[in-house]
Amino acid sequence: MMYRQCTTIGMNKKTIPVKETILIFLCFAIGMGIRIFLLFSGKMPVTDDMHFFEFSAIQEKSMAPVMTSGVAFAYSESLSNVFKFVGNRLTVVAWYHILLQVVSFFFLFFGCRLLFGKAAALFESAFLAVNPWLIKGIFAVTPENFYLFWWSFLFFLIGIFAQKTRVKGWYRKNTDEIYLVLMGFLIGMVCIWHIMGFLLLLFLVYALFMNMSFIIEKRNIWEKSSAIESLLKDEGDAEDDKNREMMPLTSEIFILAAGMFSGGYATLMKYTGVTGLYIQEQF
């Protein structure tokens, strides 16, 4: 079977079609235009009902963390780092949320395009651009936008994982194994932060089983070709053969699971140090 040449994110090297590019930036422009207009007009003031701004603001006295969920402390830490450079102002939070949403939109678009195609990606972009919940979320000092950024980043990584399996495949070499471990680690971290992280597992399972036939087919092709090539190679080429060996689905699942367990456990241990609660008390 013939496959088209693709980049690492699965796009054809001829670039994204012009019409699709125009539609993407149209959705982006409309969405950002609405948000920036509301910010400058003052019609939607920034609110801190949950006191995240109060906790995150740089001040002399330390305060207890606002631990409403696992992501709360990470969000407060990120706000504190932002305030170190630009000062303690509520409008800074709104601009920070806009930046997080901009990056998240692009992660979600490319992840959706890799997994489900350009039609689904364009629909998703249009929906997010005018979604009233997301627009209002810019003006509330809560962790939703911070979590959306990390969730969309992992969704994008899953899209790359699916497309690379489909086009090129994963092999028993350090770079591929490290990628899977790191992706699993971050998924485990996000799952501990909030229950919505487990939704990523559905997309991951979809990506694994969607590409299972490709793994089997490419593995069979490689084994046939390697049998012929082995007659022409020296023994010194054994290490090259090892690096070219296709990674089976079971190995991918095992590496991902090990990464997720490590990420979840490391996150729980961090919050144990912050809150003083044992791991079993955090559930």
pLDDT at 61 over 50: no
What tokens were used for 89?
A: 């102002």
Q: Average pLDDT in the 245-269 region?
A: 88
Measured between alpha carbons, how far is 40 from 38 in angstroms, rounded to an integer? 6
Residue 10 confidence (pLDDT) = 45
Measured between alpha carbons, how far is 169 from 174 in angstroms, rounded to an integer? 14
Asked if 160 contacts 115 with a C-beta cutoff of 8 angstroms, the reply is no
Q: How far is CA 4 from the centre of its chain?
A: 26
Neighbours of 169 (CB within 10 A): 18
Residue 133 confidence (pLDDT) = 92
pLDDT digits (tens, 9 = 90+) for 97-150: 999 999 999 999 999 999 999 899 999 999 999 999 999 999 988 899 999 999
Residue 260 confidence (pLDDT) = 95
| Long-range own/partner contacts, residues 176-182 (CB < 8 A, 24 or more apart) | 176/247, 177/247, 177/255, 180/252, 180/255, 180/256, 180/259, 181/255, 181/256, 181/258, 181/259, 181/262, 182/259
Asked if 97 contacts 46 with a C-beta cutoff of 8 angstroms, the reply is no
Measured between alpha carbons, how far is 233 from 226 in angstroms, rounded to an integer? 10
pLDDT at 65 over 90: no
Measured between alpha carbons, how far is 119 from 24 in angstroms, rounded to an integer? 11
pLDDT digits (tens, 9 = 90+) for 162-214: 888 777 777 778 888 999 999 999 999 999 998 999 999 999 998 888 767 77
Asked if 95 contacts 53 with a C-beta cutoff of 8 angstroms, the reply is no
